Amino acid sequence: MLTPSRDGRPPAEDEPSDQALVERLGHGDPEAFGPLVQRYQASVYNVCYRLLGERVAAEDLAQETFIRAYQRLHHYDPQRPFGPWIRRIAANLCLNHLEARRPATLALDDERDAPLAAPATHDPAAAQVRAEEAAAVRAAILSLPPHYRAVIELRHFQDLSYAEIAATLNLPVSDVKSHLFRARKLLARLLDPPG
């Protein structure tokens, strides 16, 4: 199973850059892939989990993402950042997976998303309200069409810019903005129904 890591942060001064590791891989050093996995495993898993809503499926597709990335390194442009490239592979695998089956439902005990988790508090009632709100947001996001779910995940949970989302999903920036606008509007309607 993949474990949390530094997750895409720039390497320390004594560590090789992503591009240097990819170059080593290109020269036949398979050991250079390990540091890339360590750097990006948490963000890849988070993309998969937020798009799929199932821990086991997210773990499987996160691992599949790294297998695909390793097999397709010859397609990677070392002049571009590695993170968006590998997250695009993850997003595409998840979107293909979602197209092949019905949307998943999220069991409350599967909720492992730190940004949506309720902060520690001494007030059990307030903690319960926050947990219910987080569960409602998660359920609403999971009910969105996959392409809207993807832009919400990449913008609000991965903090990617419009240009990075466009590169990750292979869409024009105008489509990213349009999808985000519509996704937010749908979420607002789901979370605050009239009546």
In a domain, residue 20? The reply is: yes
* Distance in angstroms (rounded) separating the CA atoms of residues 167 and 152: 15
Task: Please state, in angstroms and as integers, the Cα–Cα distance from residue 24 to each residue in 17, 28, 76, 78, following that order.
Answer: 11, 7, 13, 12
In a domain, residue 148? The reply is: no
- pTM tops 0.85: no
In a domain, residue 120? The reply is: no
| Structural domain count, the chain | 1
Q: What are phi and psi of 124, to 5 degrees?
A: -60, -35
In a domain, residue 123? The reply is: no
State both tokens at 46: 């988070």
In a domain, residue 70? The reply is: yes
CATH number at residue 47: 1.10.1740.10
Q: Residue-wise pLDDT tens for the chain (195 aa)?
A: 443 344 555 566 678 899 999 999 888 898 999 999 999 999 999 999 988 888 999 999 999 999 999 999 988 888 888 988 899 899 889 988 887 765 444 443 444 444 444 445 567 777 777 778 777 888 888 888 888 888 888 888 777 889 888 887 888 999 999 999 999 888 888 888 766
Range of the domain at 14: 1-102
In a domain, residue 12? The reply is: yes
In a domain, residue 124? The reply is: no
Task: Please state, in angstroms and as integers, the Cα–Cα distance from residue 111 to each residue in 9, 49, 55, 76, 114, following that order.
Answer: 25, 10, 9, 33, 9
